[in-house]
């Protein structure tokens, strides 16, 4: 039986253990120093606090001080921590990662280095490995798509996508992890998958604003939400294409698919709802943090702007929705409806 170690015992890390176990893998789940209370609950036989679903049977749990043990003999490693923890956990786990056949990444976002460089997560991991003296990093498989962690853990029908520069590797893992309920598309468009992953979190905030406006006024804003959705997909495609991604990737599972599910019920959407209702960006963020709800679209928005400035400055004016979200998050915007509307409604011919 092949061994797979999942790094990060949060919602997605715990949820992906279900299809892995169902597919016949020996699954190890390592929790960071922030996951102790989650592992405590699971060890007591309770449902996982993030998914409200039981952890898959047979999964072996490891605490933060058991990383070496968790990685020992692992054939594959999955990095599933919040984007802010990617650098630290990667550095800690590199001795084990380089011995694996592949590193899979469910984490989503950008990473900013001390010199100000902003990179997508796979390129960030490659750079970290090089700086740490490792030149034998295994293939990276980006995992994305419309996956709600609780539904994945509950074995509800789920479609996801594995992106790797070596498509044969993506296909290998798509075949070895697939179950009756967890279906996987394989692609070699790692860049397209990784562009969509953080950007849909940014744009889901704008989708949530439309819903928040409805709660505030009692008037549906479906037309605005639809126009926002359309603009979000367009901008993901433009940004991806500028980096060498396939233009169509944004119109598939990592773009349209993931934006749909995130815009329906994700944490970034609910943060946007708060803004649409009239809450101030920082106050809304602090309240969600108190509820232990990470809003990755907030840091992703600022890093996306830096990424565009560094790698695609020639298309900056073609990303009005991204810029609108950044403006709103900065505070001082009283009329969020107009800011979003001006960004997504077609210009006068």
Same domain, 103 and 197: no
Q: Choosing from 200, 225, 241, 305, which is the catalytic residue? A: 200
349 lies in some domain: no
How many angstroms separate the CA atoms of 158 and 231, rounded?
25
Domain's final residue, options 158, 188, 218: 188
Among candidates 229, 201, 218, 263, which has minimal Cα distance to 340? 229
Indicate the pairing of strand 182-187 with strand 26-30: unpaired
How many angstroms separate the CA atoms of 3 and 23, rounded?
12
Same domain, 196 and 183: no
Q: Is 165 among the residues known to form the active site?
A: no
Query: Is residue 188 classed exposed, middle or buried when 0-12, 13-18 and 19+ CB atoms within 10 A define those classes?
Result: middle
CB 97 within 8 Å of CB 139: no
Same domain, 71 and 164: yes
Summarised one tens digit per residue, pLDDT across range 280-310 is: 999 999 999 998 888 999 999 999 999 999 9
How many angstroms separate the CA atoms of 12 and 16, rounded?
6
As a three-state string, the secondary structure of 72-130 is: CCCCEEEECCCHHHHHHHHHHHHHHHCCCCEEEECCCCEEECCCCCEEEHHHHHHHHHH
Same domain, 252 and 115: no
Q: Which two tokens stand for residue 334?
A: 């009283």
Number of neighbouring beta carbons within 10 Å of residue 194 = 28
Domain span at residue 284? 192-344
What pLDDT sits at residue 245? 98
Domain at 197, CATH number: 1.10.1040.10
What pLDDT sits at residue 80? 98
Same domain, 159 and 228: no
236 lies in some domain: yes
Same domain, 304 and 163: no
Residues making up the binding site for NAD(+): 8-13, 149, 267
What pLDDT sits at residue 345? 97
Same domain, 230 and 94: no
242 lies in some domain: yes
What pLDDT sits at residue 30? 98
What pLDDT sits at residue 3? 98
199 lies in some domain: yes
Domain's final residue, options 188, 214, 230: 188
- Dihedral in degrees, nearest 10, Cα atoms 15, 17, 19, 24: -170
How many angstroms separate the CA atoms of 8 and 67, rounded?
11
Residue in the structure block whose two tokens are 């853990």: 153
φ, ψ of residue 332 to 5 degrees: the values are 90, 0
Q: What is the pLDDT along the chain (349 residues), one digit of tens a residue?
A: 799 999 999 999 999 999 999 999 999 999 999 999 999 999 999 999 999 999 999 999 999 999 999 999 999 999 999 999 999 999 999 999 999 999 999 999 999 999 999 999 999 999 999 999 999 999 999 999 999 999 999 999 999 999 999 999 999 999 999 999 999 999 999 999 999 999 999 999 999 999 999 999 999 999 999 999 999 999 999 999 999 999 999 999 999 999 999 999 889 999 999 999 999 999 999 999 998 888 999 999 999 999 999 999 999 999 999 999 999 999 989 999 999 999 999 999 9
How many angstroms separate the CA atoms of 200 and 239, rounded?
12
Same domain, 87 and 25: yes
What pLDDT sits at residue 181? 97
Residues making up the binding site: 8-13, 108, 149, 267-268
98 lies in some domain: yes
Same domain, 144 and 226: no
What pLDDT sits at residue 188? 98
Summarised one tens digit per residue, pLDDT across range 239-271 is: 999 999 999 999 999 999 999 999 998 899 999
227 lies in some domain: yes
Domain count, the chain: 2
């Amino acid at each position: 039986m092949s061994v797979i170690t999942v790094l990060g015992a949060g919602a997605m890390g715990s949820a992906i253990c279900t299809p892995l176990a169902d597919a016949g893998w020996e699954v190890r789940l390592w929790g960071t120093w922030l996951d102790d209370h989650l592992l405590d609950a699971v060890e007591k036989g309770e449902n996982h606090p993030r998914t409200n679903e039981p952890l898959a049977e047979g999964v072996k749990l490891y605490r933060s001080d058991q990383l070496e043990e968790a990685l020992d003999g692992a054939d594959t490693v999955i990095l599933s921590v919040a984007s802010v923890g990617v650098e630290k956990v990667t550095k800690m786990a590199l001795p084990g990662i380089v011995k694996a056949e592949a590193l899979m990444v469910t984490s989503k976002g950008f990473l900013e280095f001390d010199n100000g460089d902003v990179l997508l997560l796979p390129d960030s991991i490659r750079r970290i490995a090089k700086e740490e003296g490792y030149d034998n990093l295994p293939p990276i498989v980006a995992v994305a798509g419309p996956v709600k962690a609780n539904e994945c853990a509950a074995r509800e029908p789920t479609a996801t996508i594995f992106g790797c520069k070596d498509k044969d590797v993506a296909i290998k893992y798509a075949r070895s992890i697939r179950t009756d309920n967890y279906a996987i598309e394989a692609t070699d468009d790692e860049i397209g998958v990784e562009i969509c992953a953080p950007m849909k979190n940014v744009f889901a905030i704008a989708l949530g604003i439309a819903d928040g406006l409805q709660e505030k006024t009692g008037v549906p804003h479906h037309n605005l939400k639809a126009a926002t959705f359309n603009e979000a997909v367009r901008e993901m495609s433009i940004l991806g294409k500028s980096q060498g991604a396939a233009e169509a990737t944004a119109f598939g599972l990592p773009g349209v698919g993931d934006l749909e599910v995130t815009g329906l019920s994700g944490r970034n959407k609910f943060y946007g709802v708060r803004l649409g209702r009239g809450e101030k960006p920082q106050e809304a963020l602090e309240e969600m943090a108190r509820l232990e709800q990470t809003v990755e679209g907030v840091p992703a928005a600022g890093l996306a702007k830096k990424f565009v400035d560094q790698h695609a400055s020639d298309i900056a004016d073609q990303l009005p929705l991204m810029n609108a979200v950044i403006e709103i998050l900065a505070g001082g915007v009283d009329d969020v409806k107009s800011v979003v509307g001006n960004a997504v409604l077609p210009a006068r011919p």
